[in-house]
Structures are given as structure tokens and as C-alpha cells.
């Protein structure tokens, strides 16, 4: 395995491209004709009545003549006003789209500042993957937007490749702590409310944008070169200290294996409700109270969510068919952490889950599992075993050098499976075509990989 990475390496955030195509897995999300370069969200949320009022200022550039354009916004939120470049614009709503007609057409290459006033009662969006988006807790709220829940709380170009910096200002009742992506740059109190302003300078996919509101305590976790924080209800502090006691060691191992942590800091959030699964957002992860029980039962999940900061949040899939690049890498990180912390080796875990995969064959390839199955557990496990097969083919030195190059070359950018295949080919003199054919593009499970 590689030596510890240089912690002083710096990178300049970049946007991932000028345009994108609609994703066939989610053809109703994403929009054409322009590229967003920044979101400024000014939000006011009242916890008890679950009422959200917001102003979204979206900075964008057109790449074609725009007489009309659309944004994604759920129908349960009402729009009160829209302007484009300071002039009132006509707008209409249909099927989760906000269609905007500017007072004058925007020419190709034209700059746009779109201001949208909106509000209502936020709630999740229901679809193939259950309910995703803004959700009420017993005493607060959370946002869990993967893959298409972002329009449940702000107007956006909801496509994974449409990454942009954000500033999120959230005003809420003063007993509550409000967390959003990025660095807290301002906090101000007024009569009964507190405003929290966060700046997310690294480009972020809309599905990773998130707000967490609850009666939490914010604590720094010692012992890490990367600032790590805990955000928990006070009653769970003692259990958190035990369940998450390896969090800083995980950060050290993953920065050694994958390169510098890609954001300014990391926060582990534990809500006061039980959650079926944890979830990642850019710069933090969210766990349920059931994942914080004073034992190490959920340690693999803690490792999984931390790994997503590299694989999914910094390096983001450009299309949903390549979800294995997020989940396979995060799952394999669980196995690597297990080995480094004295548990089963990655090879033992690969053999364990290979047997489970063999017992329950699927009829679609990992490289294109289809929208209904893209979050099924077999995608995670086959993705991880695929990486193990690649590791055995390349050897540890080239394999971990590849992972570090992957996270460095594509930091803050979007990627496809073809990008990974091309980069991997530079770490060996032999063809890997058979490996990719068998593990990514053929539904049948190939024989368990062997060390070459």
C-alpha cells in the first residue's frame, strides 16, 4: 500500500464541463441550454409548522439561444416571483419543471442571473427509490436527496454532472442548530431566530446539497490533521464517542490510501430519529440514532460514508449508470478498513460476498444495472469485488497508485466508467479488456479472481 500522501497538496476547484445530456435513468431531471456556475440560497425554515420560504439566486451561462428554459422544482413548492437579469420573467409549472421565459432572449454565451422567490411545505419526492429529499424529523429536519430529491427544497438543474459552488443561508428557530454544506462563514441572531451562512467553494452536485436542522451539540473530534466534527443530540454524546471512536483513524487510513481529503473538514451528523440507512452529503454524513448505540456495530457504515467524500462527492459520476464508481469504491473501502483495523481482510470479504453474489444471480450487467436496480446491494458488492479483481491483476503498488491518481486527476469533476478503464490501462502493460468484459459488461458472475 502507498505511503502517506502529501497533506500540503492544494487544488483549484473546477467545473466539470460546459453542458450535459439528459440522463436516461432520470429523463425528467436535468435541463438543457445553459450551465449553472453558482447557487445562492437564502432560506427561512420554521420547524413546528414545517414551512420553508426561500430566494434562489442562480448564476448561469447559456450555450445556445434561450427564449425559454427550465429548472427542476417539485410541485409542492409555490413560486411567487421570477426575474432574469433584473427584469421580471414569465413562468409556468408542469410535471416538476419551472419553465421561465425571460423578457428578452438570452444569446449564446450570455450571462444569466435568475432570481426565484418560492416557498411552501417541503416534503420528499416519491419515486423508484422511495421518498427522497427534504424530510421532517420528530424535532427538526434533514435532506437526503440522492438521486433526485434536490428539487424538493430548491430550484436547480438536477443532474449529477451539473456541479457548481453554493452559498446556503438558512434562518431557523434559535434553539436549533442548522448545518449545510461548506464552511460556516457567518452566524447571526435576531429575535427568536438564528441565521447560519455556509460557503461551499468546491463544485457540488445538487443531490449532495443538504441541510440538517435539530437540537444538536457541535463538537470537535481530536487527533486528526483533517478537522472532524460531531453533530449530535446531547443524549447521544457518550454513545457517539464509543460508536465513532475510530473515525479519526479511518480518516488517516483513507488519506493514506486515496490521497488528501478533498474538502475543508468533515462532520458526522447523528439525528435523534432512527434511519434505515446512513447517507452522504458533500462534507458530511448523516446517521440515525440506531447507528449510534454505544457499540461498533455500524463501523462499516461509518467507513462507507466517509469514503464517499472521495468517491461520489469529489469525484462524481457523470451519469447514473456508472453508480458502481460511487458505491463499489465505498464498499471496498469498508473491506480495506476492516483489514487495517484488525478484522477480516479485503480478500476474505471479497470471497464472502462473491459466494452471496453467486447464490443470487442477476440478469443485468454492473456497468448498466438500470434505474430500478442501481441502488440494490448487489451493485455495491459486485462493484467492490470488481475492484478486488483489478487489484489482484495489477498488484498492490499499481492498484493503489491508480486510486490516488483517480482521485487527484478527477478531483471536483465528473467521470464515467470509460474514464476509469482508460486510466487503469496506464498502470499495466497487459490488456484488461477481459476483466472489464467479465465484471462490468456481462451479467453472469465470472470465476473468483486469482492473484497473477
CATH number at residue 350: 1.10.390.10
Contact status, residue 315 vs residue 413, Cβ threshold 8 Å: yes
Predicted local distance difference test score (pLDDT) of residue 18? 53
Query: Is 451 within the bounds of a domain?
Result: no
HSE at residue 140, side-chain half, CA atoms within 13 A, is: 20
Q: What is the pLDDT of residue 20?
A: 73
Burial class (CB in 10 A: 0-12, 13-18, 19+), 147: buried
Q: Tell me if 444 is assigned to some domain.
A: no
What pLDDT does residue 140 have? 97
pLDDT tens for 239-253 read: 999 999 999 999 999
- pTM as predicted: 0.94
Domain count, the chain: 1
Which among 55, 15, 57 has a CA at the least distance from the CA of 35? 15
Q: Is there a contact between 119 and 136 (Cβ–Cβ < 8 Å)?
A: no
Give the mean pLDDT of 274-297: 97
Could you tell me if residue 293 is inside a domain? no
- pLDDT of 450 reads 84
User: What are 20's three cell numbers?
Assistant: 450535459
Q: What is the pLDDT of residues 150-206, one digit of tens each?
A: 999 999 999 999 999 999 999 999 999 999 999 999 999 998 999 999 999 999 999
Position 84 scores a pLDDT of 98
> Residue for cell digits 442548530?
177
Confidence of residue 11 (pLDDT cuts 50, 70, 90): very low
The answer to whether position 163 is within a domain reads no
The reply to whether 409 falls in a domain is yes
Q: What pLDDT is recorded for position 451?
A: 81
In a domain, 399, yes or no: yes
Q: Residue 1's pLDDT band (boundaries 50, 70, 90)? A: very low
- Confidence grade of residue 19 (pLDDT, cut at 50, 70, 90): low
What is the domain extent for residue 388?
Answer: 316-439
Give the bridge partners for 173, in sequence order: 193
The mean pLDDT value of the chain amounts to 95
pLDDT exceeds 50 at position 71: yes
pLDDT-based confidence at residue 2 (cuts at 50, 70, 90): very low
User: Other C-beta atoms within 10 Å of 398: how many?
Assistant: 16
- In the sheet where 34-46 sits, what is the strand order? 87-88, 77-84, 111-120, 51-62, 34-46, 164-173, 193-204, 183-190
Report the pLDDT value the prediction gives residue 6, as an integer from 0 to 100: 38
Q: What would the pLDDT profile of 85-97 be if each residue is shown by its tens digit?
A: 999 999 999 999 9
Is residue 124 one of the residues assigned to a domain?
no
Does the structure show a pLDDT above 90 at 59?
Answer: yes
Amino acid at each position: 500500500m502507498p505511503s502517506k500522501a502529501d497533506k500540503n497538496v492544494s487544488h483549484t476547484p473546477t467545473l466539470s464541463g460546459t453542458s450535459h445530456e439528459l440522463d436516461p435513468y432520470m429523463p425528467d431531471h436535468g435541463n438543457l441550454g445553459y450551465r449553472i456556475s453558482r447557487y445562492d440560497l437564502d432560506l427561512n425554515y420554521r420547524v413546528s409548522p414545517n414551512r420553508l420560504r426561500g430566494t434562489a439566486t442562480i448564476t448561469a451561462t447559456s450555450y445556445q439561444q434561450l427564449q425559454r428554459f427550465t429548472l427542476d422544482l417539485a410541485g409542492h413548492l409555490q413560486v411567487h416571483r421570477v426575474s432574469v437579469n433584473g427584469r421580471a420573467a414569465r413562468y409556468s409549472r408542469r410535471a416538476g419543471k419551472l419553465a421561465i421565459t425571460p423578457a428578452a432572449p438570452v444569446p449564446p454565451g450570455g450571462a444569466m442571473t435568475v432570481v426565484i422567490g418560492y416557498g411552501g411545505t417541503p416534503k420528499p419526492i416519491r419515486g423508484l427509490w422511495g421518498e427522497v429529499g427534504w424530510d421532517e424529523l420528530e424535532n427538526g429536519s434533514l435532506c437526503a436527496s440522492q438521486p433526485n430529491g434536490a428539487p424538493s427544497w430548491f430550484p436547480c438543474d438536477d443532474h449529477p454532472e451539473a456541479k457548481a459552488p453554493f452559498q446556503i443561508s438558512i434562518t431557523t428557530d434559535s434553539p436549533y442548530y442548522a448545518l449545510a454544506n461548506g464552511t460556516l462563514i457567518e452566524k447571526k441572531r435576531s429575535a427568536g431566530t438564528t441565521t447560519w451562512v455556509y460557503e461551499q467553494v468546491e463544485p457540488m452536485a445538487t443531490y449532495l446539497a443538504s441541510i440538517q436542522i435539530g437540537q444538536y451539540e457541535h463538537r470537535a473530534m481530536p487527533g486528526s490533521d483533517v478537522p472532524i466534527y460531531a453533530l449530535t443530540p446531547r443524549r447521544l454524546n457518550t454513545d457517539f464517542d464509543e460508536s465513532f471512536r475510530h473515525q479519526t483513524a479511518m480518516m488517516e487510513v483513507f488519506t493514506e490510501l486515496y490521497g488528501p481529503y478533498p474538502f475543508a473538514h468533515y462532520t458526522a451528523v447523528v439525528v435523534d430519529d432512527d434511519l434505515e440507512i446512513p447517507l452522504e452529503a458533500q462534507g458530511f454524513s448523516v446517521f440515525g440514532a440506531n447507528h449510534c448505540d454505544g457499540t461498533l456495530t455500524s463501523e462499516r457504515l461509518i467507513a462507507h460514508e466517509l469514503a464517499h467524500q472521495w468517491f461520489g462527492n469529489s469525484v462524481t459520476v457523470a451519469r447514473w449508470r456508472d453508480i458502481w464508481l460511487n458505491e463499489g469504491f465505498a464498499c471496498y473501502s469498508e473491506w480495506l478498513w476492516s483489514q487495517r483495523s484488525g478484522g477480516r481482510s479485503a480478500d476474505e470479504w471479497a470471497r464472502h460476498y462473491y459466494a452471496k453474489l453467486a447464490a443470487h444471480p442477476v440478469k443485468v450487467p454492473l456497468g448498466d444495472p438500470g434505474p430500478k436496480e442501481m441502488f440494490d446491494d448487489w451493485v455495491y458488492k459486485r462493484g467492490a469485488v470488481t475492484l478486488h479483481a483489478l487489484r489482484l491483476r495489477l498488484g498492490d503498488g499499481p492498484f493503489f497508485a491508480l486510486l490516488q491518481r483517480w482521485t487527484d486527476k478527477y478531483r471536483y469533476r465528473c467521470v464515467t466508467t470509460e474514464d476509469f478503464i482508460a486510466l487503469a490501462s496506464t498502470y499495466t502493460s497487459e490488456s484488461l479488456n477481459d476483466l472489464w468484459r467479465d465484471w462490468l459488461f456481462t451479467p453472469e458472475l465470472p470465476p473468483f479472481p486469482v492473484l497473477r
